[in-house]
Amino acid sequence: MARLQRQNALVDALHQLGFQLGRNLPVPRLPGLPEPAASWTMDAYKQLGGVLRTPVLKPLGWDITTTGGLIVELDEEQHFNRYRAATLNTSWAVHLPWREDYLAYCSELEHIALKGHSGGGFWSSEGSVDQFGPAGPRRSLEGAGSPRWKQRAIYDALRDAAAAAGSVTLARVSVHDRVGAARLGDALRGHARLDLRALHALITSRTSNRDHLARGTRPQRDDVRSNSPARLATSPDERPASQGDAATFEPTKSARTLTNDDFVTVKDLMRELGYDDDGRVVRAALRRAFPSHPKNSRWDPLSPDKVSAVRRSVSPKR
């Protein structure tokens, strides 16, 4: 749930900065990615130990998109490790504006990812094993390591390659980034004040194809508390009375639902589908789709294939 809380708070902050949030933009796929981005992605895949000659790489939706074409990705702790560093230590990634900071986070903060994101589906999944082979021992990155971490890194690299080739205008921000006096992740969880001007400056400095940046209006105040994160679907009556050029706020489809390629919980999925008062529908769908799942064992965290299976078989509650 922490991921959804932080993404909600970032959506709210972008709204206050005057960004107009728009409808979904297509997410890169392989095959189908134009050159040279396709070759760059394949090189990264092979470097990470990919076992397929022609992998099908299908990351899910962008985190946040805007009507001006700017895409904002919020990268959490599990994204920073040696596999991600390998995708950034490439000649084509050298001009990506987040590269240097992200390499430092990968080197210095990998232990945080190992501590909190090396269990269950965070470490291995059926789809990631198909792409990278069986997992090694949990929390050991020597040898086989984590196929799911490699999968996450290649999905990030695919998006990076599209940005480096000029196909998309992308800004990456990390929960480890400093915004003013606070760590962004802490501010988005309501544990510190979020300096909006510092956030705007960070997004600007982290944007690829910066000439195409859809700039927001000047923030109305220096900071905002995130104790009550914004819901991803905001009704017209809840919008600020004045937002300058960004008076129309339209949350993205990808922001309304759980479309990130990282793992979510049964409770997250229940809430997305409107069954937060009764989880039996979601769990029954999981049991039908995955009958080999051990009885009385936890489902969390849910891998993308399990999330997709539930979405296919369970209609949102009206």
Number of independent structural domains in the chain: 2
Whether 103 and 80 map to the same domain: the answer is: yes
Last residue of a domain, one of 215, 237, 256: 256
185 vs 311, more confident: 185
Judged on CB neighbours under 10 Å (0-12, 13-18, 19+), 197 is middle
Rounded Cα distance, 37 and 159, in Å: 9
Q: pTM of the prediction?
A: 0.69
Where in the sequence is the domain holding 302, given as residue range(s)? 266-313
Helices (H) and strands (E) in the chain, counts: 13, 7
CA-nearest of 39, 38, 40, 16 to 28 is: 38
- pLDDT tens digit string along 75-89? 999 999 999 999 999
Per-residue pLDDT reduced to its tens digit, 173-193: 999 999 999 999 999 988 899
Helix axes 304-313, 266-273, angle to 10 degrees: 30
Compute the C-alpha angle 80/81/84, nearest 5°.
80
Determine how β-strand 182-183 pairs with β-strand 223-224: unpaired
Q: How confident is the model at residue 275 (pLDDT cuts 50, 70, 90)?
A: confident
Tell me, yes or no, whether 10 and 63 share the same domain: yes
Same-domain check for residues 42 and 108 = yes
Banded model confidence at residue 263, pLDDT cuts 50, 70, 90: low
138 domain residue, yes or no? yes
Domain annotation covers residue 70: yes
Contacts (Cβ under 8 Å, ≥6 apart) of 56: 29, 30, 31
Residues 27, 175 within the same domain: yes
Same domain membership, residue 203 and residue 154: yes
Least confident of 45-59, 156-170, 304-318: 304-318
